[in-house]
């Protein structure tokens, strides 16, 4: 069962679908976020957790912030993750840097183009492409072309592991790794799902996907409209030891998160902390597609 659920990049630990979980999202001020609810603002160097980190031409909208990294006037709402919408103006970007173990980042390009340099090798990326940077990988980013660059940033920090395996940076997209429909066994109770994993860990290999993270699971997912009107694509459940986030790319869905039921669409970011019940179903006649990220809260 555990391997089946991990095959779609969704982690259910210690009990898997905990339908009896009574904890809600009351302790978290906002679980559905977007640029509309938290507008982009020019980032001041003093606001950023890395002192002296040059973020040229950057505006940001912070959505998830861990308790051990106070900043940007954002109340902590995660164990170890940070999520933000980033926008760099023309000629913006950040210089070469390396983060020690264990700190990993994923950049999903929404608009514009960028040139990432990963361990000295240049990569031109655009909308729909993800750049995943593990610990100890030298990387930089520069806006390419004449328009602003907008990206979703996810970052995870964890306790250093003894002699962690060196991992390589990864660039993934639906074009290079097409989604496929999951059979009933692989879907593990999630109805109408197609998926493509971009990032997995050594502890949880999926689809024979080579492990490329110490901390996170990232998957592109698509749900077809349910054949039975009103039936959820994924029933309400919660996770005792993991957190999840969903960035909606296409279509419309109805999410139950904590005590809130809300319709979401492109540009919305849904965050499900540990112990917070959540479930969803497709609302539109067309499929709904999102970028799903999961991580252990331990």
Does residue 21 share a domain with residue 46?
no
Does residue 291 share a domain with residue 178?
yes
Q: What is the pTM of this model?
A: 0.85
Of 171, 186, 207, at which residue does a domain stop? Answer: 171
| SS3 label, residue 164 | coil
Q: For the residues 277-291, what does the mean pLDDT come to?
A: 92
Residue of 111, 222, 102, 218 whose CA lies nearest to 170: 218
The dihedral sign for the CA sequence 56, 166, 126, 115: positive
pLDDT band at residue 5 under the 50/70/90 scheme? very low
Please give the pLDDT value at position 204. Answer: 58
27 or 219, greater pLDDT = 219
Arithmetic mean of pLDDT over the chain = 80
Distance, in Å, from the CA atom of 84 to the CA atom of 72, rounded to the nearest integer, reads: 11
202 or 49, greater pLDDT = 202
Q: For the residues 154-165, what does the mean pLDDT come to?
A: 79
Residue 210, pLDDT > 80, answer no
Of 171, 190, 219, at which residue does a domain stop? Answer: 171
Residue 124, pLDDT > 90, answer yes
Does residue 129 share a domain with residue 13?
no
List the 234-237 sheet strands across, edge first. Answer: 234-237, 278-282, 253-257, 260-264
Residue 206, pLDDT > 70, answer no
Does residue 258 share a domain with residue 237?
yes
Does residue 79 share a domain with residue 157?
yes
pLDDT band at residue 53 under the 50/70/90 scheme? low
Does residue 136 share a domain with residue 84?
yes
Domain span holding position 120: 32-171
- Contact (CB, 8 A) for 111 and 75: no
Does residue 191 share a domain with residue 141?
no
- How many domains are there within the chain? 2
- Contact (CB, 8 A) for 211 and 205: yes
Residue 183's CATH number: 2.60.120.10
Rg, the chain, Cα only = 18
Does residue 186 share a domain with residue 278?
yes
Distance, in Å, from the CA atom of 98 to the CA atom of 112, rounded to the nearest integer, reads: 24
In the beta sheet, which residues pair with residue 87?
59, 150
Please give the pLDDT value at position 157. Answer: 86
- Tokens for 220, please give them: 């592109």
Does residue 7 share a domain with residue 56?
no
pLDDT band at residue 203 under the 50/70/90 scheme? low
Beta-strand relationship, 260-264 and 170-173? unpaired
- Distances in Å between the Cα of 250 and the Cα atoms of 18, 47, 193, 221 are 28, 32, 14, 11
Does residue 47 share a domain with residue 133?
yes
213 or 153, greater pLDDT = 153
Q: Largest Cα–Cα distance in the chain?
A: 55
Q: For the residues 37-62, what does the mean pLDDT come to?
A: 71
141 or 297, greater pLDDT = 141
Please give the pLDDT value at position 6. Answer: 33
- Tokens for 83, please give them: 């999520």
Count the alpha carbons within 13 Å of 112 in the hemisphere toward its beta carbon: 24
Residue 19, pLDDT > 60, answer no
pLDDT band at residue 117 under the 50/70/90 scheme? very high
Of 141, 171, 201, at which residue does a domain stop? Answer: 171
Does residue 144 share a domain with residue 89?
yes
Please give the pLDDT value at position 290. Answer: 97
Distance, in Å, from the CA atom of 98 to the CA atom of 132, rounded to the nearest integer, reads: 13
Residue 212, pLDDT > 50, answer yes
């Amino acid at each position: 069962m555990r391997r089946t659920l991990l095959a779609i990049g969704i982690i259910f630990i210690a009990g898997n679908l905990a339908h009896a979980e009574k904890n809600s999202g009351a302790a978290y001020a906002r679980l559905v976020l977007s640029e509309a609810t938290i507008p982009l603002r020019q980032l001041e160097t003093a606001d950023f957790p890395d002192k002296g980190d040059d973020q040229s031409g950057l505006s940001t909208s912070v959505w998830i912030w861990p308790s051990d990294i106070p900043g940007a006037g954002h109340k902590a709402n995660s164990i170890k993750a940070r999520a933000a919408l980033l926008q760099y103006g023309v000629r913006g970007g950040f210089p070469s840097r390396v983060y020690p173990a264990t700190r990993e980042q994923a950049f999903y390009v929404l608009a514009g183009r960028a040139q990432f340099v990963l361990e000295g090798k240049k990569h031109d990326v655009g909308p729909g492409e993800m750049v995943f940077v593990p610990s100890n990988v030298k990387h930089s980013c520069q806006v390419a072309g004449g328009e602003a660059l907008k990206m979703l940033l996810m970052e995870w920090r964890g306790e250093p592991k003894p002699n962690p395996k060196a991992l390589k940076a990864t660039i993934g997209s639906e074009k290079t790794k097409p989604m496929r429909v999951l059979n009933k066994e692989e879907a593990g109770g999630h109805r109408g799902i197609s998926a493509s994993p971009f990032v997995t860990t050594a502890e949880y290999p999926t689809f024979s996907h080579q492990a490329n993270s110490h901390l996170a699971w990232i998957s592109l997912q698509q749900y077809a409209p349910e054949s039975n009107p009103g039936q959820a694509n994924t029933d309400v459940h919660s996770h005792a030891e993991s957190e999840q986030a969903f960035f909606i790319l296409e279509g419309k869905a109805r999410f139950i998160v904590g005590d809130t039921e809300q319709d979401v669409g492109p540009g919305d970011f849904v965050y499900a902390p540990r112990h917070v019940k959540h479930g969803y179903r497709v609302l539109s006649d067309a499929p709904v597609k999102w970028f799903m990220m999961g991580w252990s809260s331990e």
